[in-house]
A and B are shown apart, each in its own frame.
Chain A
Amino acid sequence: MKIAVCIKEVLDSRLPMQVLPGGGEIVQLGSDTITLVNPADRAALEIAIRLRQANPSCQITAFSVCEKEREGALYFALARGVDGVERITPAQQNGSNNPTLTALQLALRFSRQNFDLIFCGDETLDNSTTMVGPLLAELLDLPQVTSVGKMCGCFEDKLVLERVLDRGCRELVEVNLPALVSFTADAADPQYVSLRRQEGAHKKEIPIWSPALDSSIERSVRWPAFEKVVPPRARVKKRFTPDVKLSPAERVKIIMSGGIQAQTSNQSNAILEGDPEYLSEQLFRFLKHHELI
């Protein structure tokens, strides 16, 4: 089985960021640039490696559409133990930030060589467009399963996957191969890769592929540039800390209720009396009012 994993090295956007005026370049505040392998891509890579552990005939190749200075993710994939890597040079400057161009280039690459499975992360930490995977599947005319949180089973010609939906819902799906699967960052607990192994991977050469896209297509793909990032308006946040003098059970109750008990403590408690129909109606209203149901 041949598996392609699409990965990207991104800015650690959990650190303080700033968009420079003009070009829309994003920089980190107060430190040298700190990058990491996009967490969702790393989970996809991890799942591919685990598939190979169960089924040693698997061949894993990692791809990244990026400039030379952002090829760290490929070295990381080598250190983690993939069979091969390939860097695809972006069609335009900053082209790796354009999901359409990225998907077009990857599609071009994958149409030259057939893979049984294409793994992606479902979103990146930087632009978070969540588009590359779906676009790529459409371009290659492959079935796609997005936002997969768990790999439940892998058979000769199909996969069983669990998708993560809104509001905590889960969806169990089956997909025939070949297919494209995009994983969430929580899909796998990634393995630690020691610095020694990472340094060892840097001794290897990364093959480069520079595809030429049809220039008319290339021109037609537009992508907005960043102008500014507006952080949320600063608001005074009421911090709630439970009283240390309360028993642990009480404290847990208060924390679980989001401090409601504490906030309402200065209001008078209402005692309702009446027949069961009236009481249940009042209770229902109370719950509805506080959006508890």
Chain B
Amino acid sequence: VEEVTRQINWNVANWMEIVLYLGSSLGLLIAFWRIFKRYRVWKLGRPSQINRSIQRGFGKLFRWMMGGGKMARDPFAAVMHHLILWGFIILFIGTTLVFLEHQTPLQFFYGTFYLISSFVIDLGGLAFLVGLGMALHRRYLKKKVRLKTSSWVDGMLALLIAIGVTGFLLEGARIGVNLPEFEKVSFIGYTLALALRSTGLQAGDITALHRTLWIFHAVLSVVFFSLATVYFFRHALLSLLPVVLRTERPTGALRPYEIPLDDAPAGGVRDLVWKDLVDADACTTCGRCTAVCPATVAGKALDPRSVVLQLSDLVGRQAALTKNGLPSSFDKIRDEELWDCTTCGACVYECPVEIEVYDKIIDLRRQLVEMGRVSPAARTSLEGLHSRQNPWNFPPAQRTAWSSSLKLPIASPDKKPEWIYWIGCAGAFDSSGQSISRSMVEILRRAKVNFAVLGSEERCTGDPARRLGDEALFQSCKEKNLAVLRKHGVRKIVTHCPHCLNTFKKEYQSSENGSPEFEVLHHSQLLSRLISEGHIQLTRQLDETVTFHDPCYLGRHNGEYDAPRAVVDNLPGIQHVEMERSREKSFCCGGGGGQMWLESSGRQRVEGLRLAEAKQAGASLVATGCPFCKVMLETATANAGQQDEVRVKDIAELVYESMSE
């Protein structure tokens, strides 16, 4: 009876073995050295806080590797990646077992254990090759547009496939020499062995073939080891870093910008946060961020993936630097790319490896601002925000003009209302926004809500300043607003502006240290509560087909999708339809991130694309919960000459409309 085991390296000369071990070590050393050079560059980056414990980070990594990550949103890609990954891991373990059996006194590769491992390893090899086949399919047959093709990628796929195929052929040749019965468990190897035999090759020929294949397979593996950390390949290794390191900072809150006052940032690696450099190197180039980016879709200059990859390129350039010199990200990233971002957060939501994409764009904007490289429109609104306390440059005295006939209760330190209704600059100065404020005031009055406004004590929350990159201006707005809110002892704020909501909730107070200083609600949340508790009766039939456009700062950044929909569903006589992209996948109106005050470039306008989607859903009325979204979509209807066909309303206006008899 044959012994159930495997003869290892029976057909390989000693020197060949030594060359393999030396080659592999050298390859791994080269791969390691390449990463080490990049690691040295990462260390040059600015410090940044990672407020996540290592255990939780690894817990997340485990879930992610088990298929619980965001990759699953594209099932084909997820299956493909998991087949390749797990196939590779199994093959790697298999090879390690062979090595241990051969080179150490351990003896375990016999009997049942051998049979099971042989089967599993064959299965792994199959998974590996099937995964690579899927990769070929989506790259070259389906030609998925978001994927970035390059000869590097083509070559690497070819290398991996060659390693997989030669591995199986090698196994087939090994089994083919003697064709032991028990090797049937290596179902692919055995089949290949039979196929070899059927060609009429004799045991001697197969032995020679085995030796040739072995050399070929060994050379390919050494090449693979040495290339394991180059562009694109390295994502297999590095992409786990952003998964572990992703902060628990909510997406709506931008990170602080702390640079010494004497520093003049210029986009070099020392001016960037180290985490951003790591993220950039970990990018898988999958292009999901680019596929959903409203600026890219509208044909503007911005392509978020390219920004990330340019940062990675910067790391490479810095790493290759021998003499003094300062490569800057602005060598290759154009200013207008950075100014096109709406901070909608779709890129961060989509990124399968948790890269915080738009944080990098904002960080670079901050450096542009420091350098004074700001467009005239952005300058006007930032200077207006600084001196006149609103980005529209309206005289501050005009802030309360909209409500002069309404006799609004104004908060004072001795009179403490339950709610402060925060109007915001759009609600106070912009005619479209004023209509929301008026509706809201009427609703609050009829629902007998005990509220007051801050009147002329309000000033911009600083959201546009922060997103346009002037962090100090934001901090000064924050200080002044917090002082006013504290003076009045404010505990509960309701606002109809998701940008104000986000700033109050996420950027004025951090959720970590205990209970928040004040509660902030979006008006949709208060309205749905008032409706469900019966404080407002909706009687008038509206007779419209309504779709709700999710504002980015309400939905993606603050997770509120249901309250506004509950309000819409309670409107009598309406038919509620959803757009193709809604909730988490909602498409931006094009007005966030300071875009409200910037010039628009590109083939198309973002708001026009969104309006087309609403029309496609058959809506006669687009409801939204943000004054910026409202203005942007209204502009889109006017630009398309469709003011009569599609109306744009805030949910508060709709509630008010259906309240009045």
Contacts and interface: CB of A to CB of B under 8 A. Distances in A.
A16 interface: yes
A208 interface: no
B372 A191 contact: yes
Nearest to A189: B376
A195 B472 contact: yes
Chain B interface SS verdict (over half): helix
Nearest to A191: B372
A192 B382 contact: yes
B378 A192 contact: yes
B369 A30 contact: no
Nearest to A15: B395
B261 A200 contact: yes
A189 B383 CA distance: 14
Interface residues of B, number: 24
Contacts of A244: 643
A266 to B, nearest CB: 26
B372 A34 contact: no
Contacts of A34: 387-388, 396
A213 interface: no
Contacts of A190: 379
11 contacts: A15-B388, A16-B395, A29-B397, A30-B397, A31-B396, A31-B456, A189-B376, A194-B372, A196-B472, A203-B261, A244-B643
Interface string B626-654: 00000000000000000100000000000
Interface string A176-195: 00000000000001111111
B376 A193 contact: no
Interface string B381-411: 0110011100000011110000000000000
B386 A195 contact: yes
Contact of A192 (B379, B396, B472, B476): B379
Contacts of A32: 396
B550 interface: no
Nearest to A14: B395
Given A16-B397, A192-B382, A194-B473, 6 more contacts: A12-B388, A31-B395, A36-B383, A191-B379, A194-B472, A200-B261
Given A189-B376, A200-B261, A195 B397 contact: no
Closest 4 CB pairs of A and B: A30-B397, A191-B372, A195-B472, A196-B472
Contacts of A195: 386, 470, 472-473, 476
B372 A192 contact: yes
Interface string B450-489: 0000001000000000000011110010000000000000
B395 A30 contact: yes
Nearest to A80: B372
A189 B379 CA distance: 10
A199 interface: yes
B387 A196 contact: no
A285 interface: no
Contacts of A197: 370
B374 interface: yes
A190 B374 CA distance: 10
A221 B138 CA distance: 85
Contact of A194 (B387, B470, B643): B470
B637 to A, nearest CB: 12
Interface of A: 12, 15-16, 28-32, 34-36, 189-197, 199-200, 203, 244
Q: Which of A190, A195, A203 has the most CB of B within 10 A?
A: A195
Contacts of B261: 196, 200, 203
A199 B472 contact: yes
Given A34-B388, A189-B376, A200-B261, A194 B370 contact: yes
Contacts of A15: 388, 395-397
A40 to B, nearest CB: 16
Contacts of B398: 30
A76 to B, nearest CB: 11
A203 B262 CA distance: 12
A32 B456 CA distance: 11
A194 B367 CA distance: 10
A193 B379 CA distance: 9
B197 to A, nearest CB: 77
Contacts of B372: 191-194
Given A30-B395, A200-B261, A12 B470 contact: no
Interface in B523-541: none
A197 B261 CA distance: 8
Interface in B291-312: none
A12 B473 contact: no
A36 B470 contact: no
B413 to A, nearest CB: 19
Given A30-B456, A197-B370, A192 B397 contact: no
Contacts of A196: 261, 370, 470-472
A36 B383 CA distance: 10
Contacts of B472: 194-196, 199
Nearest to B397: A30
A69 to B, nearest CB: 16
Nearest to B388: A34
Contacts of A200: 261
B597 to A, nearest CB: 13
B369 A194 contact: yes
A192 B469 CA distance: 12
Interface string B357-381: 0000000000001101010101100
Nearest to B394: A15
A32 B399 CA distance: 13
Contacts of B383: 36, 192
Contacts of A192: 369, 372, 374, 378-379, 382-383
Given A192-B372, A195-B476, A196-B370, A12 B387 contact: yes
B367 to A, nearest CB: 10
B640 to A, nearest CB: 12
A243 to B, nearest CB: 13
A244 B195 CA distance: 79
A16 B456 CA distance: 15
Nearest to B638: A244
Contacts of B382: 192
Contacts of A189: 376
Contacts of A31: 395-397, 456
A196 B260 CA distance: 10
A34 B394 CA distance: 12
A228 B233 CA distance: 76
Nearest to A198: B472
A30 B370 contact: no
B455 to A, nearest CB: 11
Nearest to B257: A196
Contacts of B470: 194-196
Contacts of B369: 192, 194
Contacts of B397: 15-16, 28-31
B478 to A, nearest CB: 12
Nearest to B372: A191
A196 B398 CA distance: 28
A49 to B, nearest CB: 10
Interface string B331-349: 0000000000000000000
Contacts of B395: 15-16, 30-31
B175 to A, nearest CB: 71
Q: Which of B372, B388, B471 has the most CB of A within 10 A?
A: B372
Contacts of A29: 397
Nearest to B643: A244
Contacts of A191: 372, 374, 379
Given A15-B397, A29-B397, A31-B395, A36 B387 contact: yes
B540 to A, nearest CB: 28
Contacts of B379: 190-192
B553 to A, nearest CB: 23
Contacts of B376: 189
A32 B480 CA distance: 14
Nearest to A49: B372
A134 B388 CA distance: 33
A30 B395 CA distance: 9
